[in-house]
Amino acid sequence: MRELEELLEYHSRKYYIDNAPEISDFEFDALLRELQELEAHYPEDADPNSPTKRVGSDLSSSFESVAHRFPMQSLANTYSSEELGEWIDRIVRELGEVEFVAELKFDGTAISLTYENGALLRAVTRGDGQRGDDVTANVRTIGSVPLKLRGEGYPQFFEIRGEIYMPYASFDRLNAEREAQGEPLLANPRNAAAGTLKQQSSQVVAHRGLDCTLYHLAGEGLPADNHYANLMAARAWGFKVSDHIRICRSRQEIEAFITYWDTERKRLPYATDGIVIKVNSYANQRTLGSTAKAPRWAVAYKFQAERALTRLISVDFQVGRTGAITPVANLEPVQLAGTVVKRASVHNADQIAALDIRLGDMVYVEKGGEIIPKITGVELSERPADSRPFEYITHCPECGSELVRYEGEAKHYCPNEAECPPQIIGRIEHFVKRKAMNIEGLGGETIELLWEAGMLHDIADIYSLDPIQLATLPRLGEKSAANIMEGIRQSLAVPFERVLFAIGIRFVGETTAKYLASHFHTLDAIASATTEELAEAEEVGAKIAVAITEYFSDELNRVIIERLRRAGLRFEAEQKRVVSNALQGKNVVISGKFSGRSRDDMKALVEEHGGKNLAAVSANVDFIVAGENMGPAKLQKAEKLGIKILSEEEFMALIADGDNTEPAPQAEKTAEAQSEPTKHNNMPIQGSLF
């Protein structure tokens, strides 16, 4: 079994990484079948990283949320050579002569792989940067990911990060299969890769043909003290590392690399959307440090979007859950950035008028950020002689209601919230999605089925569903009905901030819901608050405050809320623990970015020690805790009002004093002192993970 594993790993590497296969697919499959038969007879001797795992399993699995050992940061983006030049010059001024590494930016989904004693231990998605999904079973099916390392010199325990993507050939094959089966086509390789990685069946993942290129190595005991040398070592251990990596020692060399690949990338068999430039030396990386979100020693230069010329055939109008009308252009199919584009966004009536888009026009189409196609212009020289200006619709294409356009809004809206089908279905789909109530089994098709059967009219109806009725519907049955009812039952444990997000108040997204829940603690308090009181919560301006008051002033919404209350949903935030009364009676503003804690962590500390968080700087504020990059307007207002400003360290010392509720004298800092940026150099390992 061990000999077969070694032989299969060798031939996998020759096929997937070296692109130099030495045996036929038939011979490879014969070896694989032999190993599978041995593992079936001797399961106790099967290796969890056996090459047979690449075939995948048809068993369903859910993904465990895993905390990253180190946060997966994002990269700062730049879109112009001038901005890139300023970034390079800034680093050279600080460090002197420095080596950079330029490499392609793959357009896929980020992954973190952990290896222990040379074997793949875990594969985790980026998630929110702090936690991701454990997708190890699915990643094991990707041929270019080594299950066991070869050679020597690798650390006992380390992480390597990179990008999982779907090559164009795999994407085209997958869409051809879906079209033949009457299924909707996937939009682009990037989304296809992300969706595939989250498939519940690793057997499906194995079939779809994902690939993986690694670009960042981190851990203790790495063989070299710089990025490039460690990537070369990783290649020797069996990792797929891009051949298109160059050391650059000047701005001119970096710009030449970018210019070359801006054209040549179109010949690559996979999608790229830019060039990543990194400082090579780890010592220099530590000197430069990081912000809360991104390293200062790396930047992503994003290519200008590709564009193509094609004919506009017609325009459809889609109705969203808020009633917003979105026009979508139907185009003659055209090749663009590796995919065939048939539809594109035109956003709203103003854009159609500004571009003077007309049916039959030859239009320019771009992919915004290389993903979402949009019309950016018209080739007037090819306009038909009999063309007429486009007339935007005046009534809802779904329910016939006359459209309205609110002051300050670019879009038109259907005001018929209670009876317009796409709005009703859209609100229910929003309510059940993962980051809201997370009710498994209630997908878009099932919700439409239940709505057509008269079983769902609003979100509260979910909690009145009858499993016997569900089981009688087409495509469901007893097992699916039982799964839906179990998902509904589990949703009763969803915390208040997600319930608040789920009910679908206009403009209240996931983050705003968290701030509202933290500030007001209960749904009743939010419902009874004035617009002025609502605006006191962080991230809640006048526009959102008005939307919240309008939502709770609607009788239909109030009835739905009461039905949800009776169903048992959580309308109160969990009780915050009280550690001391050090901040009793104090109003505190937390602003900026902090090296040791997030802003949410800092706000939690304020409440744990008896204080109250405020969003705005006013005469009611007792003091401000200022981190890096505090807004200049807040600083100016604080200085004008004479409000004390504390650093993170001073704040921690204050609450450590227990009952002492007065800031220490040294806490008074000037706005100028606080405005100086700080560097985060507390990096525990070689390299910085992102």
- Helical segments of 130-250, H only: 136-139, 168-180, 189-197, 202-208, 227-236
pLDDT at 452 over 80: yes
- Averaged pLDDT score across all residues of the chain: 86
The domain defined by 587-674 folds into Rossmann fold (3.40.50)
554 pLDDT band, cuts 50/70/90, is very high
pTM, 2 dp: 0.51
Residue 229 CB-density burial (10 A; 0-12 exposed, 13-18 middle, 19+ buried): middle
Q: Where in the chain is the domain with CATH 2.40.50.140?
A: 307-382
pLDDT of 260: 95
Q: What CATH architecture does domain 1-55 belong to?
A: Orthogonal Bundle (1.10)
Contacts of 559 (CB under 8 A, 6+ apart): none
pLDDT of 306: 77
pLDDT of 59: 46
Q: Which of 161-175, 180-194, 298-312, 370-384 has the lowest mean pLDDT?
A: 180-194
Q: What CATH architecture does domain 496-567 belong to?
A: Orthogonal Bundle (1.10)
Q: Where in the chain is the domain with CATH 3.40.50.10190?
A: 587-674
The domain defined by 307-382 folds into OB fold (Dihydrolipoamide Acetyltransferase, E2P) (2.40.50)
Evaluate the CA torsion angle 516, 521, 527, 531 in order and state its sign.
negative
Q: What is the CA radius of gyration of the chain?
A: 28
The CATH homologous superfamily of the domain defined by 65-302: DNA ligase/mRNA capping enzyme (3.30.470.30)
Q: What does the pLDDT look like over 634-646, one tens digit per residue?
A: 787 888 888 999 9
Does residue 555 or residue 17 have the better pLDDT?
Answer: 555
- The separation between CA 169 and the C-alpha centre of its own chain, rounded to angstroms, equals 25
How confident is the model over 25-53, as a mean pLDDT? 82
Q: What does the pLDDT look like over 592-623, one tens digit per residue?
A: 878 767 777 888 888 889 888 876 788 889 99
pLDDT at 683 over 70: no
pLDDT of 183: 67
pLDDT of 19: 57
Q: Where in the chain is the domain with CATH 3.30.470.30?
A: 65-302
Exposure letters 538-560 (e unless 16+ CB within 10 A, then b): bebeeebbebbbebbeeeebeeb
- Helix (H), strand (E) at residue 275: strand 272-279
DSSP 507: T
Measure the CA–CA gap between 568 and 589, rounded to whole angstroms: 34
- Helical segments of 349-495, H only: 349-355, 421-432, 444-452, 467-471, 478-491
pLDDT of 294: 81
pLDDT of 688: 36
Q: Quickly tell me which residue has 């050679």 as its tokens.
A: 151
How many other CB atoms are found less than 10 A from the CB of residue 33?
11
Q: Where in the chain is the domain with CATH 1.10.150.20?
A: 421-491, 496-567
Identity of the highest mean pLDDT range in 11-25, 206-220, 282-296: 206-220
Instruction: Name the residue type at position 673.
Output: A
Catalytic residue among 14, 53, 105, 342: 105
How confident is the model over 64-73, as a mean pLDDT? 84
435 is catalytic: no
The domain defined by 421-491 folds into DNA polymerase; domain 1 (1.10.150)
C-alpha dist (Å) from residue 648 to 502, 595, 667: 34, 9, 10
Measure the CA–CA gap between 95 and 281, rounded to whole angstroms: 11
